Amino acid sequence: MFALARNALRAPARRAFANAPAAAAASLHTLPDLPYAYNALEPYISEEIMKLHHSKHHQTYVNGLNAAEESYAKATSVKEVIALQAAIKFNGGGHINHSLFWKNLAPNAEGGGQIPEGAFKNALERDFGSVENFKKELNTQTAAVQGSGWGWLGYSPKSKKLEIVTTANQDPLITHIPIIGIDIWEHAFYLQYKNVKPDYLNAIWNVINFKEAAKRFEDAAK
C-alpha cells in the first residue's frame, strides 16, 4: 500500500538499536537523476530553480538522511533513537517528496500538462466534478499552506477516492498514496515568481506529468 513511498527510496538494511553489533555500512541513499534537462520545464519552472532545487536542496536532504541513518545505526538507547527522529523525518521526507516530485513533472513538449483519457481522468471528474475544479482546489489548498510544505493529490485507500491533502515541512504523505505532489516551499518558486504563489501554481499545471499520475493511480487503485 505504501509501496510508492518505499520504492521512492532504496531501502537501507534494517538495523536494531541497543545491543546491536557495529552495523555494516548501510546502503547510502543517492540523488536520483532528473528525468529531463534542467531547462526542460521552461518557461514554467526556470532552469535556475531546477538546478538549485535538484542539485542543492534535494542533495542536502540525501546527505542529511545518510548522516542521520549512520547515527541511528550507532544509537544504543531509546533516548538516542528518539533524538534522531526529527532528522530522519525531515531529511527522509525531503528525499521521498522530491524523488516523487521530479517524476510527476514533465516537459510541456513531452506531454506535460496533458491528461490522458482513461480511468485516472474519470476518477478526477468523479471526485472533483471536473478537471478544472480539481486544479482549482489543489491550488487553493496548496496556496493556503502556512509556512513550508506540499500540496498533494492523494488516493485514499479507505474511501477509494482521490482527495487533496497538504503536508507541513517535509512530512511525507502517509495517509494517502501520493499521486501528484506540488512543492510549495519558497525555494520551489521564489527566484521566478517571488511572493506571487498563485502564478507559480497556475504555471506548474503546464508541466505536471499526468501519465505518471495515472500510473500511480492505477497501481494504488488495484
Give contact residues for other proteins (rule: CB under 8 A).
52, 56-57, 60, 86, 90, 146-149, 168-170, 185-187, 190-191, 194-195
Contacts of 219 (CB under 8 A, 6+ apart): 3, 4, 177
Residue 149 Cβ vs other proteins, minimum distance, rounded to whole Å: 8
Residue ranges of the binding site: 53, 98, 183, 187
- Which residue, 145 or 213, has its beta carbon nearer to other proteins? 145
Residue 68 Cβ vs other proteins, minimum distance, rounded to whole Å: 12
Residue 191 Cβ vs other proteins, minimum distance, rounded to whole Å: 7
- Which residue, 119 or 168, has its beta carbon nearer to other proteins? 168
Cα torsion 37, 100, 31, 65 to 10°: value is 150
Tell me the C-alpha to C-alpha distance, in Å, between residue 139 and each of 23, 42, 98, 121, 158. Answer: 45, 20, 19, 18, 24
Task: Encode 137-157 in three state secondary structure.
Answer: HHHHHHHCCCCCEEEEEEEEC
Helix axes 210-220, 119-128, angle to 10 degrees: 80
Residue 219 Cβ vs other proteins, minimum distance, rounded to whole Å: 30
C-alpha cell at 95: 528525499
Q: Return d(Cα 160, Cα 33) in angstroms, integer.
A: 32
Residue ranges of the binding site for Mn(2+): 53, 98, 183, 187
Residue 65 Cβ vs other proteins, minimum distance, rounded to whole Å: 13
- Which residue, 21 or 147, has its beta carbon nearer to other proteins? 147
- Which residue, 7 or 85, has its beta carbon nearer to other proteins? 85
Contacts of 216 (CB under 8 A, 6+ apart): 4, 104, 155, 177, 178, 179
Residue 102 Cβ vs other proteins, minimum distance, rounded to whole Å: 17
Q: Return d(Cα 97, Cα 196) in angstroms, integer.
A: 23
- Which residue, 57 or 161, has its beta carbon nearer to other proteins? 57
Helix axes 131-143, 119-128, angle to 10 degrees: 70
- Which residue, 116 or 198, has its beta carbon nearer to other proteins? 198
C-alpha cell at 88: 530522519
